[in-house]
Amino acid sequence: MNSKPRFRLPGLPGPFPKKTLVAAGVAVVAIVAAVATMAWRRWPESPRPLAYGQFEKKLVEGGVARVKIAPGELSGELVEKVAGKAVRFRTPWPNAERDERLAGLLAKHVPGGNYEADAGPSAGWSSAATLGILIALVATFVVLSRMGGVGSVVAFGKSRHKLYERQDDPVTFDDVAGIDEAVGELREVVEFLRRPEKYQALGGRIPKGILLVGPPGTGKTLLAKAVAGEAGVPFFSLSGSDFVEMFAGVGAARVRNLFAQAESKAPSLIFIDELDAIGKARSAGGVGHHDERDQTLNQLLVAMDGFASNRGIIVMAATNRPETLDAALVRPGRFDRNIVVDRPDLVGREQILKVHARNVPIGEGLDLRQIAAMTPGFVGADLANLVNEAALLAARKNKSQVDRHDFEEGVERVVAGPEKRQRVIRRDEQLRIAHHEAGHALVARSLPGTDPVHKVSIVGRGAGMGGFTMYRPEDDRFLHTQSWLIDHIRTLLGGTVAEELTYGEVSDGATSDLQRATQVARKMVAEFGMSPRLGRVSYQTQGRSPFLPGGGANDSSWSERTAREIDLEVRRILDDALRSTRELLERRRPALEAVADALMERETIDAAQLQEILDRFPDAP
């Protein structure tokens, strides 16, 4: 038998049926509407304000019909009428009830002695009204306190953390892959939380603060959860922005409340995500000064450096902006251990794929190492998204297992977006795209040391992408030589040069290729010291995060003459790359046309099909 839905109002007994709440709400609205209507109908017209001199003049002339004497004022009706109604008046007069002359005038000039005195509210009524207001305020305060949350007055200064107690299925180090060095550093923390007396007996002290730094999505939060799951201790999790409010002092109060609750459950673990929200370097006022954030940071510094050195609380924090943190926060004794959670390598990506593919039926013959080789630069969050995309694609095709084609399609969706097969492209534009992608693929296969081409397609993906050439590196590359960077620029320019050779002009479809090529050339000159004209000098901007994409050299950090020299060197590198790429494609023009024709016929060709075409048109010496 299905029970009727019932609801509990915060701070009130219950639960109540839904129909009862609806009926009560309708009744309240009806009562309020009726009272408002009656009050509007009975609300008297606003009285006309009269100065005391005007009132006395009208009184002597016989123009006042009725008078009421109240404390501090006179009110009543005039003889004159407007629309058949007597005009009401109001005259402020502080001494009205004590003015003997006024009493004589009223007795003489008000017709029929039609005047009276109003003593005002009694002392008992005033006391009752005051008591009623106090009771209403206390009741409102109690209800808000019992409701809790953001709207609670009592909870305003409380920490907004989430508390994870011992769970049946906690996150452990088995759920973390690809960052073995970071896991090894944190096992000591787990051991201290499990057996703190082992270290305290020898006078040892575990680091109070552990700072996890690395790019977004590499698993910093997952590592903190794994530490709490392995140690089996309470886990307090919150973000740095949860401390800061528009009212000064609230963040500091929340820090005190957080550490008080953590001490009551010690040993425990506090995890602060995005620490840079409250831990930025303090300024001496002026532009960008933030009193609330500074007070919150000061309280955090005091809380982490208290007198009790072994109180069983470990603070972990994560950030991808370590260069912005205050020096007092990262000194020994506070966050004195930094663990870099970097992007995983090829082996790490394979391990992460295996973790996320535990509950996914994998088809026979699928080699996750090959899939990991197709994902250079991917972090744990990207790989989790890849596995999910592959599973969704297999389910969409009514498959019982996820095979290699689903994972490859998932990689393409994550990197370039979904296919746009419904996009109508003119045949001449499609042929131009085919020559463009064929130029990329041919240059990449003709140069030594470049990454192997995995797939070439002229099927549009994402926003504005007419085609793509996908590469599959055989190994992760951590060092890039000058010759490799130049070959990479030539590969990026291969599409533009192929269009120019075929049609005599270029299109705007190569914008992203030109931007990436220019960026690589500028880094070679301004950061890597690979320019013979400028020498081994780096103009890299200091202070930007090494874990975030973007950034670059700051033009204000050198003279205009140096900036011009950098621009000339960038132009020279790009011009040399364009000239050598044009010579290569002119020499292999038949192969370029053959690859473009194959793309027009099949729309997509893989590495084996590309190699078959190139074997028919070998490179001339």
Taking the C-alpha atoms of residue 328 and residue 308, their distance in angstroms, rounded to an integer, is 19
Q: Residues 255, 302, 212, CA angle at the centre, nearest 5°?
A: 70
d(CA 338, CA 438): 46
Q: What pLDDT, in 10s, does the model give residues 404-448?
A: 888 988 888 888 777 776 777 788 888 999 999 999 999 999 998
**Which residues are catalytic, by number?**
437
Residue 97 confidence class, pLDDT cut points 50, 70, 90: low
What's the pLDDT score for residue 5? 47
**Alpha-carbon distance 617 to 438, whole Å?**
14
pLDDT digits (tens, 9 = 90+) for 300-329: 888 887 645 556 788 889 888 888 888 888
Summarised one tens digit per residue, pLDDT across range 336-365 is 788 888 888 888 899 999 988 888 898 888
How much is the pLDDT for 152?
Answer: 42
Residues 471-488 have a mean pLDDT of 85
| pLDDT attached to residue 464 | 64
Structure tokens at 285: 């006022």
Supply the pLDDT for residue 246: 57
**Statement: residue 55 has pLDDT above 90:** no
Query: Which pLDDT band, with edges at 50, 70 and 90, does 487 fall under?
Result: very high
Q: Which residue has the higher pLDDT, 128 or 607?
A: 607
Tokens of 554: 């700051």
Nearest CA-CA partner of 340 in 172, 551, 183: 183
Which is it for the CA torsion 347, 353, 355, 358, positive or negative?
A: negative
User: Does the reported pTM lie above 0.95?
Assistant: no
- pLDDT value at position 37? 61
Q: What is the pLDDT of residue 28?
A: 56
pLDDT in tens, 522-554: 999 988 889 888 888 888 765 566 677 664 444
- pLDDT more than 90, % of the chain: 16
Give 310's contacts (C-beta < 8 A, 6+ positions apart): 196, 200, 205, 206
The rounded mean pLDDT for the chain is: 78
Contact 158, 257 (CB under 8 A): yes
**Alpha-carbon separation of residue 344 from 44, 301, 378, 602 (angstroms):** 79, 33, 8, 35
Per residue in 18-36, pLDDT tens?
555 455 555 556 666 665 6
Q: What are phi and psi of 367, to 5 degrees?
A: -105, 110
Which band of pLDDT confidence, cut at 50, 70 and 90, is reported for residue 226? confident
Q: Is residue 286 scored above 60 in pLDDT?
A: no
Spatial strand order of the sheet with 468-471 comes to 468-471, 453-457, 604-606
Residues 456-478 pLDDT 10s: 988 877 666 778 888 888 777 77
Nearest to 314 by CA among 209, 171, 239: 209
What are the angstrom distances between the C-alpha of 207 and each of 98, 316, 355? 80, 10, 30
Residue 245 — pLDDT band, cuts 50, 70, 90? low
- In this structure, the strands spanning 85-92 and 16-17 are unpaired
Give the residue carrying structure tokens 């038998």.
1
- pLDDT-derived band at 171 (thresholds 50, 70, 90) equals confident
**Is the pLDDT assigned to residue 249 strictly greater than 70?**
no
